Amino acid sequence: MQKTASSSTLGPDGLDIAQSFFKPIQGASPPPTTSRNTKISVVGVGNVGMAIAQTILTQALADEIALVDVNAEKLRGEMLDLQHAAAFLPRTKISASVDYSSTLASDLVIVTAGARQIPGESRLNLLQRNLALFSKMIPPLAAGSPETIMLIVSNPVDVLTYVAWKLSGFPSNRVIGSGTNLDSSRFRFLIADHLDLNAQDVQAYIIGEHGDSSVALWSSISVGGVPILSFLERQQIACEKHTLEKIHREVVEGAYEVIRLKGYTSWAIGYSVASLARSILRDQRSIHPVSVLAKGFYGIDGDGVGEPFLSLPAQLGRSGVLGVTNIHLTEDEAKQLQESAKTILEVQSQLGI
C-alpha cells in the first residue's frame, strides 16, 4: 500500500482503497469545495496542553488538532496515545510536529508552552523564562495563521497575552488570554459549595489579574436571577465580611494548593479553555471573564507605560472578543481593579517591547 500526498491510500492495483470501498450513489455530486475543517493547534503538550487537547477532543470542537512541542518524543507519545482512543471519540485528525509550520491555517491557536510554577512560586515570576520562548514562538505562529484567534494560557497569562499581541501584530480582538475564566469557575464552585447550590446556577466573576491581585465582584453575584448579597441581607442571613474574604482567598490560593499537592494544575484549565474554544469557534456569543486589552475600561488608562491586558467579562464569538460587558462595579471594586492593572503594568513596563 502506498500513501499519496493527499493521504489517500492506494492498493496494489493503483486504485484508491477508500474509493473502491465505498461506491458513490447514483447522481451524487462531488464534495463541496467551499467547506473546510475547523483546525485547532495546541502549542505545548505538557500537563495543561494535553488536558486542553483531550477536553477539546471529547467535546468534538475540532476536525483537526495539531500538537506542537519541542520535546519530539513526548510529542509523538502524546499523539499516539490520543489517536489510540479514536474508537471512543468523535472523528478528529490528530497530528504532531516540532515544526510550527504544522499549525498552518489554524482557526484557533492555543499557547500553553513554557515554564510552570514550582510550589510557592508566583505566576509573575515565570515572566523572563516564558518571554524568551514567546519571542521565538509567536512570530511564526502568527505568520502561519494570519486569520487565527490566539488564545494564550502560559503564565503570567495577562502579561504574555500583551506580549503575544505585540509580537503577532494582530488586532486586539484576536488575541485573548484565558485569564480569570478559571478563577471564576473556582469562585462559583466555592460559593455553590458554601450555599449548597449548583455551580452552573451561580453567576459570579473574578476579574483583573489571573493571579494574586485578582478582584472578586461580590456586588454582582446572582443565583437564578436573584442578587445574592441583597437577598441574604433581606433574609437577615449573616454573611460576614470575613466569610467573603475567605472565599476569595481560597480562589487566589487554589492554584498554589493544587501545585503543592500534585505539582501542577490541569483538569480545570482544560475545561476552562475548552469552554472558550467552544464560544469562539461555534460563535456562541457567551460571556467569559478573559484577558483582553483593558485600556479605557473602568478608569484603566494605561498610565503612559503600556496597555494592560487583564480579565473583564467579555463576549466571545467567531471573530474573538466582540465586546466587554458594561457590568456595574462598586467604587471599591473599581479601585481594586485599577490596582490590579497597576501591578500588571509595573511588570509590563520592564519588558522593553
Residues that bind ligand CC(=O)C(=O)O (CB under 6 A): 123, 155, 182, 255, 265, 269
88/103 Cα distance (integer angstroms): 25
153 binds ligand NAI (CB under 6 A): yes
154 annotated ligand binder: yes
> H or E element: which one contains 78?
helix 72-83
- Selected catalytic residue, list 210, 248, 288, 328: 210
204/223 Cα distance (integer angstroms): 9
Instruction: Please measure the distance between the N-terminal and C-terminal CA atoms of the chain and give it in whole angstroms.
Output: 52
Q: Which residues contact 151 (CB under 8 A, 6 or more apart)?
A: 108, 109, 110, 111, 176, 177, 178, 273, 276, 277, 280
Contact indicator for 152, 176 with CB cutoff of 8 Å: yes
296 annotated ligand binder: no
185 binds ligand NAI (CB under 6 A): no
68 binds ligand NAI (CB under 6 A): yes
The single residue among 39, 40, 42, 43 that binds ligand NAI, judged by CB under 6 A, is 43
CB of 271 to ligand CC(=O)C(=O)O, least distance (A): 12
DSSP 10: E
Contact indicator for 112, 141 with CB cutoff of 8 Å: no
- Sign of the torsion angle spanned by Cα atoms 276, 280, 281, 283: positive
DSSP per position, 149-212: EEEE-SSSHHHHHHHHHHHH---GGGEEE-TTHHHHHHHHHHHHHHHT--GGGEE--EEB-SST
Q: Which is nearer to ligand CC(=O)C(=O)O, 145 or 265 (CB)?
A: 265
Q: Which is nearer to ligand CC(=O)C(=O)O, 58 or 125 (CB)?
A: 125
SS3 content of the chain, % helix, strand, coil (to 5): 45, 20, 40
Residue that has been written with the C-alpha cell 451524487 in this structure: 28
CB of 52 to ligand CC(=O)C(=O)O, least distance (A): 13
Among ligand CC(=O)C(=O)O, ligand NAI, none, the one that 321 touches (CB under a kind-dependent 5 to 8 A) is none
Which amino acid belongs to residue 153?
Answer: V
CB of 178 to ligand CC(=O)C(=O)O, least distance (A): 9
SS3 320: strand
30/150 Cα distance (integer angstroms): 34
Residue length, the chain? 353
Q: Which is nearer to ligand CC(=O)C(=O)O, 69 or 183 (CB)?
A: 183
Active site residue 84: no
211 annotated ligand binder: no
Among ligand NAI, ligand CC(=O)C(=O)O, none, the one that 53 touches (CB under a kind-dependent 5 to 8 A) is none
CB of 251 to ligand NAI, least distance (A): 12
48 annotated ligand binder: yes
45 binds ligand NAI (CB under 6 A): yes
CB of 183 to ligand NAI, least distance (A): 8
Among ligand NAI, ligand CC(=O)C(=O)O, none, the one that 148 touches (CB under a kind-dependent 5 to 8 A) is none
Q: Which is nearer to ligand NAI, 102 or 222 (CB)?
A: 102
Catalytic site positions: 210
User: Which residues does the annotation place in the binding site for NAD(+)?
Assistant: 44-49, 69, 130, 153-155
User: Which residues does the annotation place in the binding site?
Assistant: 44-49, 69, 130, 153-155
Residues that bind ligand NAI (CB under 6 A): 43-49, 68-71, 74, 112-117, 126, 130, 133, 136-137, 153-155, 157, 178, 182, 210, 264-265, 269
